[in-house]
Amino acid sequence: MSQYLMDLLAALTNCMCCFPGSPQLRINNRRFKLLRLLGEGGFSYVYLVQETSSSALYALKKIRCPFGQESVSLALKEVEAYALFSPHPNIIHAVDHAVESANDKSDPGSKTVYILLPYYRRGNLQDAINANLVNHTKFPERRLMVLFLGVARALKAMHQYRVKGAPGGEGATQRAKSVRAEAEEADKDAVRRAKTRRKDVDADEEDVEQEPLMNGEVTRSQEGVGDGQLRAYAHRDVKPGNIMLSDSGTSPILMDLGSLAPSPTHITCRALALATQDTAAEHSTLPYRAPELFDTKTGTVIDTKTDIWSFGCTLFACLVGKSPFEMRSEETGGSLSICVLGGDWRFPDEESMATGGGRRKKKDAKGKGKGKDDGGGGDVDGGISEGVREVVRRCLRVEAGERPDVDEVIEMVEKVVAELPEDGAEGDPAGGVEE
């Protein structure tokens, strides 16, 4: 009981530090009640909030933007991307957003960005994977592939985006541009506030008017591209934690577009290659990161195939319980990055793709595969259909040019869904069935 009270006190203290003086918050004339912390990382926190007028639940992302560390432009890049691809049934949208001065005397130029997002009570695919591991269950295979068909369609909207085209047309483009203009103005205001506070009257005026540096600009990358012409984008951080499940459990919602990058990127010099690697290290989650983002070479092209690799890793994680390269590095005791660069991975009942080409391991007299265990993913020997395996294999080709594009992925997944029998388990469409 005492430990419970200590935990409760710590939670309340954390909340009061983020929202001093009141458990309520006002965003653009809408009042919200803070319920609990959902997650945090870096300068950002995500809270479950309830609108006082309607009792509707939302996820509120709070991003602190200390001047000189993380600009408002970078924080609002996420909102800009949401506006660009809205409405799409498989891509999350921002309900509202606001930029406010932080009123921090020690950092007068700092701002706070609030992004109001839909709340999905089922959580994300990583939550479902964790539940499967704890309960010794697995995803119904056909329903899992239907979910991944939705993920592929979300990626198609990004990979094949055309200026002022679907899904949101010209109106979405204008909304995205207005978000960017708001961010730029907020950054300039932060510069002015900081310099005024320091009484730096001799400051160079050019510093105030400079354009903010924006990592992977969204709408600005459309300059020079005509209406209706292709302006592709790559998500660059597809993983189970960034795929929410709709409340019905039947549709995936791709989220966190802060890593979005225009595609393709031509690596023309060593400095750009290193910058691309650094950006990936910051924004692309290690176990799902494509090999060309680990070792970016001058003279190469980084394109949307990075997402195809991450798509394959994510599907594998749902089938087995973790990324293929997490599993393999734990088995061998080697570096995860070396496993990625060497294409060293396997299904639990197969030999490594780097050595055995995905051949099934020989069975002993008891019918069990010889070799190490499955790396914590559960007994999936014979439990993964060949068509599903082939989707993963095609996506995890080390050479980006050998991977399918998003249209081919959709075609493969549709074929697998058509061939798989109906799942026997009734009830929760996204829930697991016992192994």
Q: Convert 160-195 to b/e letters by CB count within 10 Å (16 or more is b).
A: bbebbbeebeeebbebbbebbebbbebbbbbbebbb
Largest CA distance in the chain: 84
Helix intervals (H) in 86-140: 125-135
Q: What is the dihedral of CA 292, 298, 304, 306, to 10 degrees?
A: 10
State the amino acid at position 163 in one-letter form.
Answer: V
Distance CA 346, CA 246 (A): 31
Q: Which stretches of the chain drop beneath a pLDDT of 50?
A: 2-17, 19-22, 69, 200-216, 362-381, 425-427, 429
Q: In sequence order, what DSSP letters do the residues of 235-271 get, joined into one string?
A: -S---GGGEEE-TTSS-EEE--GGG-EES-EE--SHH
Between CA 62 and CA 39 the distance in angstroms is: 11
pLDDT (0 to 100) of residue 112: 87
Angle formed by the axes of helices 125-135 and 305-320, nearest 10°: 20
What pLDDT was estimated at residue 392? 98
Residue 285's SS3 state is coil
- Residue 234 main-chain phi, psi, to 5 deg: -115, 140
d(CA 229, CA 29): 39
Helix (H) or strand (E) holding 14: helix 2-18
Q: What is the per-residue pLDDT across 192-249, written as a single tens digit (0 to 9) for each?
A: 655 655 554 444 444 433 333 334 466 566 666 667 788 899 999 999 999 999 999 9
* pLDDT on residue 378: 38
**Which residues are paired to 61 by β-bridges?**
46, 115
The reported pLDDT for the residue numbered 13 is 46
What are the tens digits of pLDDT across the range 59-113? 999 988 876 545 777 788 888 889 889 889 999 999 999 988 766 666 656 788 8
> In b/e form, how buried is each residue of 333-358, taking b as 16+ CB within 10 angstroms?
eeebeebbebbbbbbbbbbbbeeeeb
Terminal Cα-to-Cα distance of the chain (whole angstroms): 37
Distance (Å, whole) CA 175 – CA 83: 6
Distance CA 161, CA 79 (A): 17
Question: What is the C-alpha separation between 91 and 83, in angstroms, rounded?
Answer: 10
